[in-house]
Amino acid sequence: MSNKVYLVDDEPDLRRAIERLLRAEGFKVESHGSALEFLARLPAEADGCVVMDLAMPGLDGLEAQERLVAASTRWPVVFLTGRGDIRSSVRAMKAGAVDFLTKPVKAEELIASVGLGLARVREVADLRARYAQLTPREREVMEHVIAGRLNKVIAAELGTTEQTIKVHRSRVMEKLGIRSVAALVTAAQRLGVSPAGGEAD
Amino acid sequence: MSNKVYLVDDEPDLRRAIERLLRAEGFKVESHGSALEFLARLPAEADGCVVMDLAMPGLDGLEAQERLVAASTRWPVVFLTGRGDIRSSVRAMKAGAVDFLTKPVKAEELIASVGLGLARVREVADLRARYAQLTPREREVMEHVIAGRLNKVIAAELGTTEQTIKVHRSRVMEKLGIRSVAALVTAAQRLGVSPAGGEAD
DNA sequence: TTGACCGTTGCACCTTGGTGCAATGACTCA
DNA sequence: TGAGTCATTGCACCAAGGTGCAACGGTCAA
């Protein structure tokens, strides 16, 4: 799984060329002619790497990236553009882009970047699947646990008892396949889950 | 403290201009004509923001950045260059640069980036000072704690007793001013301290 | 309506972590 | 040599976390 590339470019000729290149490398490719079209058909969970142009009619590549970031979806994005400038590349990298390549692109560079993006997705794929199994309450408790709060404090804040928190907490650990708070904290960071109400000291 | 800028550029005229600009904003400025000169007089702990040119005789700006990263010093670096290209900017940002600006630079942009870099330094300055107080043994124990290991496991691995580990552990928490394992894990990440022997699950 | 899932609570028991006090031996530095 | 730091250990006690069992009420869909 997870060898899928979402190609977003408004030029049909270039799409075809890149598609061919990526398919020859064994990637599955899904092409979109505009960022809006891509975002509209966006899978709920990141299951591949995005390869996107910068300048496109409708929604800009950087704007599309911002939306992905804002939705905390953690899609890996590789930019591939012909009229890029330093300012754009810096903005893209700040926003967490995997790479920022210029046309004409060397095949090996594109493949390497896509591979890196896919590797990032795979790293958290299993964890995401596990996290999806958590109930809303369990996620809530998790956010408090990774903030370093004691069970009884969490209980007070959520208006329940310590016993209840213990149950939720143990289910969180069980479902995520994790056995220590330390591992839970790092898992949460990989998932983009933030501690509730700031960190405790 | 920590409003210091380390300016590294081989052009004396430009150094003077930037120095004046930064000093007018209340920053302390220390200038160096080459990356090697800067690295040779490098303070042990990051106590300011680096503003560096890309192309310089001797050591390249990107190479200098790499050395800083390799030494895990976590210096914030703002690149300021006249002949930059996209490839360089992407490489710099991947290596963790705060920003990548081009000459001529707008004063407000440079000031904003330097301010951001300094903010990053200040964020961990207090923590670094505290971490510096730890004894070697305490750091060792800390690395096991953030790996999620139980006290008795740590004791076995370090060839001592659980009691001893408890003492070291409580000293770590006390010296760092931290009260939960969760906070310790995030503090360790900010400090660049890695868990011992990989993470426990 | 029945079954499944969710959130909840209580109780008992055990493990683990945290604290305070006291003490020892090794090492370095003045 | 004496002071200071570091690493170590033991003991007692308390706090917090983790587990297993049993149970209740609500929601939602088949």
Report pLDDT for A201: 63
Distance B165 CA to D17 C1' (A): 19
pLDDT tens-place string over residues A166-186: 999 999 999 999 999 999 999
B70–chain A nearest CA distance, Å: 20
Confidence band (pLDDT; 50, 70, 90) for A104? Answer: very high
Question: Start-end ranges of CATH 1.10.10.10 in chain B?
Answer: 133-191
CATH class of B133-191: mainly alpha
**Nearest one of B143, B146, B142 to A185, comparing CA atoms:** B146
**In sequence order, which residues have a C-beta less than 8 Å from that of residue A112 and are 6 or more positions away?**
none
When pLDDT is averaged across residues A33-45 and rounded to a whole number, the result is: 92
Whole-number average pLDDT of chain A: 94
Q: Which two tokens stand for residue B116?
A: 């951001």
Backbone angles phi, psi at A140, to 5 degrees: -60, -45
Strands (E), chain A: 4-8, 28-32, 48-52, 77-81, 99-102
pLDDT for residue B45 = 82
Supply the Cα-derived Rg of chain B in whole angstroms: 20
Residue range A59-63: mean pLDDT, rounded: 97
B4-124 folds as Rossmann fold (3.40.50)
- Report residues of chain B scoring pLDDT below 70: 1, 198, 200-201
Residue A73 pLDDT level (bands cut at 50, 70, 90): confident
Do B102 and A90 lie within an 8 Å CB cutoff?
Answer: no
Percent of chain A at pLDDT exceeding 70 = 98
Residue A190 makes CB contacts below 8 A (sequence gap 6+) with A123, A124, A127
Give ranges for CATH 3.40.50.2300 in chain B: 4-124
Question: Is a pLDDT exceeding 70 seen at residue A131?
Answer: yes
pLDDT of residue B200: 61
Nearest chain B alpha carbon to A94: B93
Is A196 a residue whose pLDDT tops 90? Answer: no
Q: Is the pLDDT of residue A18 over 70?
A: yes
**Residue linked to tokens 């290209």:** B85
pLDDT tens for A45-60 read 889 999 999 999 999 9
| CATH superfamily of domain region A4-125 | Response regulator (3.40.50.2300)
Strand partners, B31: B7
Chain B residue numbers touching A149 (CB-CB < 8 A): 180
Domain with CATH 3.40.50.2300 in chain A: 4-125
Pairwise CA distance, residues B82 & A28, whole Å: 41
Specify the pLDDT at position B54.
Answer: 96
Give distance CA B136 / C1' D12 (Å).
29
For B138, residues 6+ apart whose C-beta sits below 8 A from its C-beta are: B168, B171, B172, B175
Which residues of chain B are within 8 Å of residue A189 when distances are taken between CB atoms? 189
Chain A residue with minimum CA distance to B99: A90
pLDDT band at A158 (very low <50, low <70, confident <90, very high): very high
